[in-house]
Amino acid sequence: MKELQYDAAVIGGGAAGMAAALEIDGAGFSCALIEREDYLGGILMQCIHNGFGLHEFQEELTGPEFAERFIQKTARARIAVYLNTTVTELRPETRGDYKELYCVSPAGVLHIRARAVILAMGCRERNRGNVRIPGSRPAGVYTAGLAQRLVNIEGYIPGKEAVIIGSGDIGLIMARRMSWIGCKVKGVVEIMPYPAGLTRNIVQCLEDFDIPLYLSSQTTAIFGNHRVEGVEVTPMENGVLIPDKRFRIDCDTVLLSVGLVPENELSKSAGVELGPTGGPLVDSYLMTGIDGVFACGNVLHVHDLVDWVAEESHRAGGYAVRWLKGARPGRQIRAKAGSNLRYVIPNRIDPQEDTKVYLRSLIVKNDAILELRIDNRIVKTVKKGHIQPSEMISLALTAKDFEETTADSALEFSIK
Ligand SMILES: Cc1cc2nc3c(=O)[nH]c(=O)nc-3n(C[C@H](O)[C@H](O)[C@H](O)COP(=O)(O)OP(=O)(O)OC[C@H]3O[C@@H](n4cnc5c(N)ncnc54)[C@H](O)[C@@H]3O)c2cc1C
């Protein structure tokens, strides 16, 4: 077993991992960047459409172009990059001042010791088992991200006639991609009364291709024995299925775009406490409940834009640098999501510091107001215009917003 030692180890070489590693390297600390694939870039490498980088680079790039800029910077830095290397165990109990990582690599098992660890493992797709669609088990059912990989990286055409279940962004992007490769996309079926994906993707990927979107509709069966032959769609009214209105769409392929889950098996087994996003609970410094273990990007919460992933991960790297230099968080107060919000990140806020907060709405609303209460007193209201669950909300808070808090204070964010 090869023994290695660094100031910091970053797990995952996507946009998040590279952004965090660059900050650590830039501050003069030694850093290992560990990626299980044989390339850096993560999910970006299969997203060959444009729409990336408008905030980070003030340019519209494709996913691989966005990744390439970070890959070039990483290559110029002194970061020790380990490809084809999977972290299988993280032991945060410190021996001396170090956490321990065990990795499987082409060179055998690596034992990496690092003072700080950044979790940047991204997310994975929910699948048919997660949404329990009745019916047989034929070939031709893919998650949308897998189909994207088959088309954009492996060069396969998954089918000729497709139905997409769920209107998340990956499904919408794949509706357009499948159309371009000659597959007839016969519809997108969404259980909610509103689309799950970004508005720009509804317009550019469905409306521009005359692909029908069935809202408030559930896929109640998948037909076919060896290969998919069709799906049954049942419309809903007030959340109740209306069986008399059900109809069949013939197809040979079903793509599932039914949500993403932060990839935290490693974090859980290391004892990191997870929160309502499925990612770690973190403080103002994006530090998990384990001292010196930070989290950023999709492993923390599923982001809609890679630009926000990069922005958050630069900060996580910067906080790790502060921690490596000896800074330790002071008193922090609990932050929670109140009415109409699914989650708030971070979950603990340092009232002495400026903090960027990310929130996810549970509702679609025009003229929405974001309200911050401290101990039930309204201390801030911000007009947010149109909000919807698919678009992250952010809020910059300063120490001034937290005047008059005590150690027992509680912050609550809500949408009115
Ligand atoms: C299909 C799709 C379309 C998108 N379209 C857009 C768009 O148009 N515009 C936009 O701005 N954003 C878009 N996004 C969002 C954006 O691309 C992602 O949010 C962002 O790239 C995620 O970065 P990440 O580093 O957090 O995760 P990832 O890119 O998933 O990176 C995580 C990395 O960690 C590695 N890893 C995981 N576990 C381990 C382990 N145990 N050991 C070693 N390595 C490990 C993985 O192999 C992976 O490379 C899209 C996302 C998807 C999925």
pLDDT(198) > 90? no
pLDDT in tens, 57-93: 999 999 999 999 999 999 999 999 999 999 999 998 7
Share of the chain above pLDDT 70, in %: 99
* Residue 131 burial by Cβ neighbours in a 10 Å radius (0-12, 13-18, 19+): middle
pLDDT at 181: 96
For residue 298 and ligand 1, the question of a CB distance below 6 A is answered with yes
- Atom 13 of ligand 1 has which residue's CA nearest to it? 305
The CATH number of domain 127-258 is 3.30.750.200? no
Q: Which residue has the higher pLDDT, 130 or 53?
A: 53
For residue 16 and ligand 1, the question of a CB distance below 6 A is answered with yes
pLDDT at 94: 66
CA of 43 to the centre of ligand 1 (A): 4
Second-level CATH architecture of 332-416 = Sandwich (2.60)
Residue 40 CA, closest ligand 1 atom number = 49
CA of 298 to the centre of ligand 1 (A): 7
Alpha carbon dihedral 44, 46, 50, 52, in 10-degree steps, equals -10
Q: One fold for both 1-125+260-329 and 332-416?
A: no
CA of 36 to the centre of ligand 1 (A): 13
Cα 337 to Cα 305, 393, 397, distances in angstroms: 22, 12, 16
CA distance 123 to 299: 6
Q: Is residue 209 within 8 Å of residue 180, measured between CB atoms?
A: no
pLDDT(219) > 90? yes
pLDDT in tens, 279-293: 999 999 999 999 999
CATH superfamily label, 1-125+260-329:
FAD/NAD(P)-binding domain (3.50.50.60)
- Atom 41 of ligand 1 has which residue's CA nearest to it? 87
204: its two tokens: 């550019």
CA distance 121 to 128: 22
Q: Is residue 44 within 8 Å of residue 92, measured between CB atoms?
A: no
CA of 367 to the centre of ligand 1 (A): 32
The pLDDT-based confidence of 136 (bands split at 50, 70, 90) is: confident
Alpha carbon 317 to its chain's center: 18
Mean pLDDT score of the chain, rounded to an integer? 94
Give me the mean pLDDT over the 303-328 stretch: 96
pLDDT(386) > 70? yes
Phi and psi at residue 127, in whole multiples of 5°? Answer: -125, -170
| Domain edges within the chain | 1-125+260-329, 127-258, 332-416
Pocket test for ligand 1, best of 47, 104, 201 (most atoms within 8 A of CB): 47
For residue 90 and ligand 1, the question of a CB distance below 6 A is answered with no
For residue 147 and ligand 1, the question of a CB distance below 6 A is answered with no
Q: What angle do CA 303, 307, 309 make, to 5 degrees?
A: 45
